[in-house]
Structure 1
Amino acid sequence: MKVRSMKYIYLIFGLVISTTFTINAQEIVSPNKNIKAIVSKKESDKNSFGQVYFKILYKNKSKYIEIIPNSPLGILRDDQQFTDNLKLISESKSKEVNQKYEMISGKRKWCDNLGTEKVFKCINSNNEPLNIVFRVYNDGVAFRYEFTNKSNSLVNVIDESTTYVFPSTTNRWLQTYTDSYEGFYPFSDTGKSNDNKNNKQEWGFPALFKINNNPIWVLISEANISGNNCASKLNNSKNPNQYKVRYASPRDTFKQTGVKTTLPWNSQWHTLIIGGLSDVVESTLITDVSEPNKVEEINWIKPGAVSWIYWAYNHGSKDYQKVVEYIDLAVEMKWPYVLIDWEWDVMSNGGNIIDVVNYAKSKGIKPMIWYNSGTSWLEPTPNDRLLTPEKRAKEFAWLNKMGIYGIKVDFFAGDQQDMMKYCIAILKDAAKYKIMVNFHGATVPRGWARTYPNLMTTEAVYGAEWYNNNTVLTDKAAAHNTTLPFTRNVVGSMDYTPVTFTNSQHLHSTSYAHELALSVVFESGFQHFADRPEGYKSLPSEPKEFLKNVPVSWDETKLLDGYPGEKVIIARKKGNQWYLGGLNGNEEIQTLKINFDFLGTGNFKLKLIKDGENDKSFAVEVIKVKKGDLLNVECLPRGGFVAVVEK
């Protein structure tokens, strides 16, 4: 009798749970039918207003698995709440989104913005409208909020109730939030931070999750931020498995919370890249949902390799003679660019900025120069030449007259709305003067490279320049380097400043072949090769020739194998050649296995440059391969390899 009673209670409880979120439940399905997003509303007993939720299902072995349980949606203005007081009044029919577009730099030249869209029209308890737009792609989900009514007066969008809920057994790789995005992505299976600096439990984008024990991964970020948005972050302080979206915090010189805007208005796209690890690494979802190219003429935008002075000396470019050495290095290595870093405005020891620019041009090298954004750390100069449209016009006209091809802008003050406006203003104005841009000390990429293709790369990474600052990277570099392809570099070009063989202020522990492989594994429209001239000039002929010829923009990208923090093999295609890069993130010898299923028909020649007898030597092999072959490459601890495959 007692058992039957308990069964009855469980049955009733199950019926309650199963019906809680079925009211007004509607689904959106990806074109390949592998991903479903379901939008529903939990109604209160007294009226038809309540909280709107979404959940995501993924087809694994012909069965749908719930990977994101019901998760709250909603947004908050200072004058209106659109959170737990919403009514779903209608939804649009499913609409195909289908655009093909070209990227000048990035992991793939031709991209497909292909998905299914539905618009859910809501009103709040004050009868004010809100649209929630969902798109479901073959490799993920994107959604955003839209206020559709019009107003001439400013409203303040201050917060969201958007929350990503995960099963408790989810594995995760998240970076403690900092506005420079220069940190590690440590593994956690609890969602709790081991970083005593992260007592707020705040996390930066992108954030990587592996769902339960399934081979299903989710990378959360955001895209298509405009001057009417601020950037956001995640917070799981209330529940370690519930990650709430929070807007950038006010700062000392900018007290605003959230966004001030007139209506109509839309939020950024909240993005979830979903699938196997290869789906995540190869995805272009961030640029797919971003605004198309706004730069009419683009033939002047040229990705390329750059020689870079800062790393070796932990300083800028005020020594004319040292800058000349890096121009000569670019000539020898056939790299098209040289970056003249901070303090060029006080250059001495034989010449000034005009002299060194003229020297570079006389050698066929295109110069680029550094600027302080003038908004944060003001010590390095020049620091106040870009802050207003008038100053930018004057400066960019001068750069055109001198023959400067690009700028690196550093030390932005954070993720607030004014910084988003400032970054976009720099990109727009630079494009008018045919100047390419590299953002440092800035927010993580959020799709601007599609809209403004003169944005060639962004730092927002704990990169090789940290060898200048402390000893941390010496021990962590190998594992960190094998995590970045699955996290930071997925969402956009990453200016890690790689491939250094000598030591800066602190030691390397990665092998020379590992360093060489970073030129392929890490994608960046400007690839700043950071070592001192002798580091490259003393290389054996094969790796030296490889660095002279390795592309920095790609027609196609494929993940061949990998796991965060342990290993990675990436294949990138340019023309008729495939370039492969493999990294061992472990402290022990590891055999990396190349599967050549990605090749077309016929026979191919593979030139392999791998670890030699020790971590400062190379071994070279030439091997015939074909589609379906397997090749084992033994890597030293923290080692790696590169290869070129051609018919």
Structure 2
Amino acid sequence: MKFIYLSLCFLTFCAFTINAQEVLSPNKKIKVIISSKKTSDDSSYGQIYFRILYKNKLGYIEVMPNSPLGISRDDQQFTDNLKLVNESKAKQANQKYEMICGKQKVCNNLGTEKMFKYVNSNNQPLNITFRVYNDGVAFRYEFTNKSNSLVNITDENTTYVFPKATNRWLQSYTESYEDFYPFSTTGKTADNKQEWGFPALFKVNNNPVWILISEANISANNCAAKLNNSKNSDEYKVNYASPRDDFKQTGIKTNLPWNSQWHTLIIGELSDIVESTLITDVSEPNKLKETNWIKPGAVSWIYWANNHGSKDYQKVVAYTDLAVDMKWPYLLIDWEWDAMGNGGNIIDAVNYAKSKGIKPMMWYNSGTSWLEPTPVDHLLTAEKRATEFAWLNKIGVYGIKVDFFAGDQQDMMKYCIDILKDAAKYRLMVNFHGATVPRGWARTYPNLMTTEAVYGAEWYNNKPILTSKAAEHNTTLPFTRNVIGSMDYTPVTFSNSQHPHITSFAHELALSVVFESGFQHFADKPEAYNSLPPDPKEFLKNVPVSWDITKLIEGYPGEKIIMARKKENQWYLGGLNGKDELKTLKINFDFLDKGIFELKIIRDGKDDTSFDTEIMQIQKGDSLDVKCLPRGGFVAVLQKYDAVKANKQN
């Protein structure tokens, strides 16, 4: 009887399914099937779905069941009333490009692209383009007809469907993206809002296949989106940013033709997730003619230990001197610099930094959200930005940090892009805080060095919750938030702020490698860094912030991670124990080239405030067990032994 029932279901499904197409990744490991289900027996129109298969040793397995596609405008619906009229031949996207900062210097935009042309029941056109990569899938919508007036794109039917019991690490949606990614099998929130921010990580059922969902290539004609699973906990619908009090618009207002953002799904093993460059792969290429002025680097940062420190000239001087001592190229002068006193003003502070060979940067309030900290309203219009940026050039400032954006609405996306474009005209690098997560702008406008959008170390100043959650949180971020772009966590703190941290000193040191950020803001006070033993102090003087290659050696969200990153001829390793118990992390050196390497490892000492350093020789195929304290960690540097020997002789 059961067999008969299943057969009838299969026949019913086939009867209502038409126009099934496939798109395969270049290595044939990922397959996307696009199909249509009739809305009735006598209709040639229907609902469009996509499903994703992933090939393992036993063949293809389904990792995403049939998931709806579609989009709505205020004048037309393109949801369950679509008919396929044409499809393009599969073509290969194959483009190498370089990133100035990020997890990988040379990237390859390699995927199979296919476009499907539909019309709705009013004969209005909609194109859906799929690109299938070796490490994921991207798709977007396109309206190709022209309009003489603005069209309001109000909603999407796009939904990501998962099998029941799928493991998930999701952040409840907040406009600042400053929250945790707790593990769940149910997809429920404590407040029952059921809204989730990007990126969203899933481990599909009992299969060793992971999917990280986000989006990329947001333009001024897009808003950012979020996910909602209020109707079904296993079905995550794309929702556009909600209106806000001073911006009543729902969705997007634009002329046609128009492209949506790319919807992205990074798919594979955990290493595929962590190492993926899919977000920048699908984003627009670099639009800046000259980029030799863009220099990633470490930053001396005053706010964490001294909340209102930028008002005090003497404290700014102390952090400038710290940058000199630690060989960090940059100093960030944070909020309230316009009220600086105690021996000097902002011009004096900038001049002092430059006299010491340190490049100063300055904080700005975006003027759109929380308006208490000054300076406010220096950037809101193109005219104001031109005046302010010209002044920054005149006094010798190299970058800006812009904070407190109002949300993910279309006007905020346009504002961010306008800031990047105008800042580039004046050779100013940019750090966005209180802003949306990275969505590929770092490729298009490479003067975007980093973005906050993370529950980072500054929260030790605000609430006690990070004290107990930091270790687990720090071992989750490399698999979630930091995958999609540079992350300004403001790491590596050894002293305590308002609320203490209980991660070990070696754990904190390892954050400089495990977390990637084009500007790495080291957050502690000068005396904390000056009192470090010679080996960890020297490590912090030299650790890079941009990387040629990134490899995940070992890890699992919330439990542990070992990250290996290469810069020129050196490998840097960072390992974290996310648990409140002793743990041994195993380094497998299969990622190395042939030859003998010198390994210098700095790990937990006898207690959580001490270090232990050891130097040894290793080679490809070796492994090393590293014992970590509860919430502990380690860093290591590897270099070919011949190169080390030559350096010592010189």
TM-score, normalized by the shorter chain, greater than 0.5: yes
Give the counterpart of 2:99 among 95, 98, 103.
103
Say if 2:35 is the partner of 1:37. Answer: no
Tell me what 2:148 maps to: 152
Tell me what 1:125 maps to: 121
Query: 1:83-109 CA distances to partner (integer Å, 9 max, x unpaired)?
Result: 010001111000100100000000000
- TM-score normalised by structure 2 residue count: 0.98
Query: 1:240-293 CA distances to partner (integer Å, 9 max, x unpaired)?
Result: 000000000000000000000000001000000000000000000000000000
Q: Offset of 1:60 from its aligned partner?
A: 1.1
Tell me what 2:329 maps to: 336
Say if 2:613 is the partner of 1:620. Answer: yes
Distance 1:152 1:572, change over 3 A: same
Structure 2, gaps ≥5 residues long: 641-650
Tell me what 2:570 maps to: 577
Query: 1:208-251 CA distances to partner (integer Å, 9 max, x unpaired)?
Result: 00001111000000000000000000000000000000000000
**Distance (Å, rounded) in 1 between the aligned partners of 2:134 and 2:316:** 48
**Distance (Å, rounded) in 2 between the aligned partners of 1:501 and 1:16:** 63
Aligned length: 639
**Distance (Å, rounded) in 2 between the aligned partners of 1:208 and 1:304:** 29
Tell me what 1:172 maps to: 168
Distance 1:9 1:437, change over 3 A: closer
**Distance (Å, rounded) in 2 between the aligned partners of 1:315 and 1:145:** 46
Q: Offset of 1:315 from its aligned partner?
A: 2.5
SS of residue in 2 equivalent to 1:509: coil
Amino acid aligned to 2:599:
L
Say if 2:132 is the partner of 1:136. Answer: yes
**Distance (Å, rounded) in 2 between the aligned partners of 1:11 and 1:264:** 44
Say if 2:281 is the partner of 1:288. Answer: yes
Q: Offset of 1:492 from its aligned partner?
A: 0.2
* Structure 1 residue runs of 4 or more that deviate by more than 4 Å after TM superposition: none
Tell me what 1:629 maps to: 622
Query: 1:6-26 CA distances to partner (integer Å, 9 max, x unpaired)?
Result: 6434422232235543x1000
Matches within 5 A, 1:491-570: 491-570=484-563
Tell me what 1:12 maps to: 8
Matches within 5 A, 1:79-478: 79-193=75-189, 195-196=190-191, 199-478=192-471
Tell me what 1:24 maps to: 19
Amino acid aligned to 1:565:
G
Query: 1:329-365 CA distances to partner (integer Å, 9 max, x unpaired)?
Result: 0000000000000000010000000000000000000
Over the matched positions of the two proteins, sequence identity in percent amounts to 78
Query: 1:401-451 CA distances to partner (integer Å, 9 max, x unpaired)?
Result: 000000000000000000000000000000000000000000000000000
SS of residue in 1 equivalent to 2:63: strand
SS of residue in 2 equivalent to 1:516: helix
Q: Offset of 1:62 from its aligned partner?
A: 4.2
**Distance (Å, rounded) in 1 between the aligned partners of 2:348 and 2:44:** 72
SS of residue in 2 equivalent to 1:312: coil
**Distance (Å, rounded) in 1 between the aligned partners of 2:454 and 2:325:** 29
Tell me what 1:48 maps to: 44
**Distance (Å, rounded) in 1 between the aligned partners of 2:498 and 2:270:** 35
**Distance (Å, rounded) in 1 between the aligned partners of 2:24 and 2:45:** 26
Give the counterpart of 1:71 among 63, 67, 84.
67
**Distance (Å, rounded) in 2 between the aligned partners of 1:7 and 1:567:** 45
Amino acid aligned to 2:21:
Q
Alpha-carbon contact 2:309-2:316 (below 8 Å) kept: no
- TM-score normalised by structure 1 residue count: 0.98
Give the counterpart of 1:644 among 627, 637, 650.
637
**Distance (Å, rounded) in 2 between the aligned partners of 1:406 and 1:20:** 57
**Distance (Å, rounded) in 2 between the aligned partners of 1:106 and 1:16:** 49
Alpha-carbon contact 2:309-2:315 (below 8 Å) kept: no
**Distance (Å, rounded) in 2 between the aligned partners of 1:117 and 1:613:** 55
**Distance (Å, rounded) in 2 between the aligned partners of 1:440 and 1:386:** 14
Tell me what 2:646 maps to: none
RMSD: 0.8
Amino acid aligned to 1:281:
V
Q: Offset of 1:152 from its aligned partner?
A: 1.9
SS of residue in 1 equivalent to 2:385: helix
Structure 1, gaps ≥5 residues long: none
